[in-house]
Amino acid sequence: MEQELFDLLSALEMRAAQIDAMDPDAAKFVSLLAVSKRAKHIVEVGSGVGYSTLWLAYAASLTGGKLISCEVNPAKADETRANLEKAGMAAYAEVLTGDARELLRHQQEPVDFLFIDGDFGQYETYFDVVYKRMGIGSVTVADDVVASENELADYTTYVQNHPNLESVTIPLGQGLEFSVKTAE
């Protein structure tokens, strides 16, 4: 890992409570999943100020891939772009500003890896918008499923009972729902 990226991740971790950043171990785990999948087309819903985005851009840098990150808040999207520049990761990520449901409807590329950390009430919709572009073996990881179990119960039930997915809850950080597409 390049020093600029390491330093910026460390600085963001120091502000984690103020910026509502993802748990560091969970973020690293998600990044390593994308690398192990050799994901070329990574999509993130909800960048915040870019902590998880940096980890996913790092994964893309290792796989020769590209990250498309969607953030509804323009100020956070701008901060994410600035953080990607500072860390030397801007070449591996594109930050789109707006409602991910609409932004992702207009994308055509296949999706190897989807990370969801957006509006809790929309997790199923975010997934459904991208699902048709996912092949067998594609991965979806959703954050906060243990810490916000009640708010995300519909999503976890949906993916755990989806006929074309295998899904498991991982109690790391705020809880990750790890789903793999196993059939068309």
Domain map of the chain by residue range? 3-181
Q: Is the pLDDT of residue 131 over 90?
A: yes
Tokens 């390049």, residue located? 2
pLDDT at residue 83 greater than cutoff 80: yes
Q: What is the pLDDT of residue 9?
A: 86
Give the whole-number percent of the chain exceeding pLDDT 90.
86
Q: What pLDDT score does 21 carry?
A: 80
pLDDT of 53 over the 80 cut: yes
Q: What is the pLDDT of residue 43?
A: 98
pLDDT, tens only, 134-169: 999 999 999 999 999 999 999 999 999 999 999 999
Segment 54-73 shows an average pLDDT of: 97
pLDDT at 132: 93
Query: Could you tell me the fold of the domain covering 3-181?
Result: Rossmann fold (3.40.50)
CA dist 1 and 117 (Å) reads 24
This prediction's pTM: 0.95
What is the pLDDT at residue 12?
87
Q: In the 8-state DSSP scheme, what is residue 96?
A: E
Q: How would residue 69 be classed by pLDDT, with cut points 50, 70 and 90?
A: very high
Q: Which two tokens stand for residue 157?
A: 């039930």
Helix H or strand E encompassing 112: strand 111-116
Question: Does pLDDT of 20 surpass 90?
Answer: no
Arithmetic mean of pLDDT over the chain: 95
**DSSP H or E run through 45:** strand 41-45
Whole-angstrom distance, CA of residue 84 vs CA of residue 115: 17
Q: Are 103 and 143 in contact (CB under 8 A)?
A: no
